[in-house]
């Protein structure tokens, strides 16, 4: 990768020497996957760090979504957001369930609770919201609707690592939550993810489901898949966890610099921190009002690239526009005006722990020009 290019993110890497030490232990033990010692250790350390009672590690952040739907035996229709990474809706589709798109709230880019009830049909069995960019959903309002109609709630919390609201982990909300530990996330295990549940029985069921449904050598209790994390990535994850607090602190500093530098730029808007929320600063989206700014979002996106700054237009295009989903009634852009507008105007600026103050100043100065 060209060192002069500033990328949208950069992985939080463990110290190489420490990693080498753990690799040596793995080599010596010859136990390289299937619920080994580092897998067990990382599950425990993550559960403690994230303040959740039960957590199951996965090979990525997509398989826990697919598995959560199976573990809760979800069928029929699931209400979800079109403003996310495509894996959210794919997980529903992979289970033979119909996704139903509902518009988002412009204040957060999350599913708008006020629009959920109108999308519920007799076939609806669950809601799958996303804490987009690490901004918490209105979990109280969503739970009230779920309780009223007897629906399950599975949060795609891929962006919500370490996110807390009023001192409580956001992962406590709903029936289950999923995390992604992809290289591009605040915390990574190269590829990886987790499913968070609230009781031991469900943890056991999920652990079966991610291991072919094996209960023991002779019994297969469910049509499970193979999505176990191996020892090498678990060891990497143990070391990366030690560095994540500092990385989030640095990201916070970058967010402060962006907000200071961009606050008076006409046509550029961004989110502020939310009261009572411990943010993780996983993304820094800005929204471009072409008329006020004097340039379209895409023009700014390419101008940044000409200057070696590679932002990303997460989440453009909307999931509902992709060929698999665009024929669904709920995918009609008229049903999704806010999501369409946000997707057409967003750029996620570079946001990671390695950005220097000078990097951020350079990005700001190009946007201000």
Binding residues for ligand T4K (CB under 6 A) = 7-11, 60-62, 84-85, 87-88, 130, 156, 158-159, 180, 182-184, 193, 310, 312, 314
At residue 321's C-alpha, the angle toward residues 317 and 327, to 5°, is: 175
Which residue, 267 or 317, is less far from ligand T4K as judged by CB? Answer: 317
The 3-state DSSP class for residue 312 equals strand
* Of residues 83 and 293, the one with the C-beta less far from ligand T4K: 83
Nearest to ligand T4K of 255, 293 (CB atom): 255
* Of residues 189 and 293, the one with the C-beta less far from ligand T4K: 189
Least distance from ligand T4K to the Cβ atom of residue 186, Å: 12
* Min dist. Cβ of residue 185 to ligand T4K (A): 7
70-101 burial: b if 16+ Cβ within 10 Å, else e: bbbebeebbbbbbbbbbbbbbbbeebebbbbb
State the minimum distance, in angstroms, from the CB of residue 152 to ligand T4K: 18
Residue whose beta carbon is closest to ligand T4K: 61
Q: Specify the residue, 287 or 293, whose C-beta has the smaller distance to ligand T4K.
A: 287
Q: Please give the Cα distance from 313 to 304 (Å, whole number).
A: 12
∠ Cα 294 287 180 (to 5°): 150
Indicate left, alpha or beta for 277 from its phi (over 0: left) and psi (-120 to 50: alpha). Answer: beta
**For residue 139, which of 274, 272, 46 has the smallest C-alpha distance?**
274
H or E stretch including 147? helix 139-149
Residue 10 Cβ, how far from ligand T4K at the closest point, in Å? 5
Residue 88 Cβ vs ligand T4K, minimum distance, rounded to whole Å = 5
CB of 233 to ligand T4K, least distance (A): 12
Reading the block at residue 294, the tokens are 């004097």
Query: Based on CB atoms, which residue is closest to ligand T4K, 10 or 41?
Result: 10
CA 85 to chain centre: 8
């Amino acid at each position: 990768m060209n060192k002069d290019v500033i990328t949208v993110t950069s992985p939080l890497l463990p110290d190489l020497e420490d990693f080498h030490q753990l690799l040596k232990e793995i080599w010596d033990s010859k136990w390289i996957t299937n619920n080994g010692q580092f897998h067990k250790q990382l599950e425990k350390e993550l559960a403690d760090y994230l303040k959740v009672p039960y957590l199951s590690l996965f090979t990525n952040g997509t398989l826990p979504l697919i598995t959560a739907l199976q573990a809760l035996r979800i069928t029929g229709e699931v209400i979800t957001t079109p403003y996310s990474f495509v894996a959210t809706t794919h997980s529903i589709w992979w289970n033979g369930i119909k996704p139903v798109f509902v518009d988002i709230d412009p204040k957060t880019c999350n599913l708008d609770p006020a629009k959920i009830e109108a999308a519920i049909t007799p076939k609806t069995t669950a809601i799958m919201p996303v804490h987009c960019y690490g901004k918490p959903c209105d979990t109280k309002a969503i739970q009230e609707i779920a309780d009223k109609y007897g629906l399950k709630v599975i949060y795609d919390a891929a962006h919500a690592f370490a996110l807390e609201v009023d001192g409580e982990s956001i992962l406590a909300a709903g029936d289950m939550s999923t995390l992604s530990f992809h290289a591009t996330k605040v915390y990574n295990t190269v590829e990886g993810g987790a499913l968070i549940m609230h009781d031991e029985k469900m943890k056991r069921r999920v652990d079966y489901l991610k291991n072919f449904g094996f209960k023991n050598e002779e019994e297969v209790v469910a049509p499970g898949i193979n999505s176990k994390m191996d020892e090498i990535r678990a060891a990497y994850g143990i070391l990366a966890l030690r560095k994540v607090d500092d990385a989030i602190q640095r990201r916070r500093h970058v967010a402060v610099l962006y907000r200071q530098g961009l606050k008076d730029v006409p046509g550029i808007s961004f989110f502020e921190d939310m009261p009572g929320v411990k943010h993780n600063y996983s993304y820094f989206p800005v929204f471009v009002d072409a008329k006020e700014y004097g340039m379209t979002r895409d023009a700014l996106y390419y101008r940044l690239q000409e200057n070696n700054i590679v932002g990303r237009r997460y989440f453009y295009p909307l999931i509902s526009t992709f060929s698999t989903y665009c024929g669904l009634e709920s995918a009609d852009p008229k049903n999704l005006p806010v999501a369409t507008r946000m997707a057409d105007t967003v750029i996620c600026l570079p946001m990671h722990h390695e950005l220097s103050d000078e990097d951020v100043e350079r990005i700001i100065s190009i946007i201000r020009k």
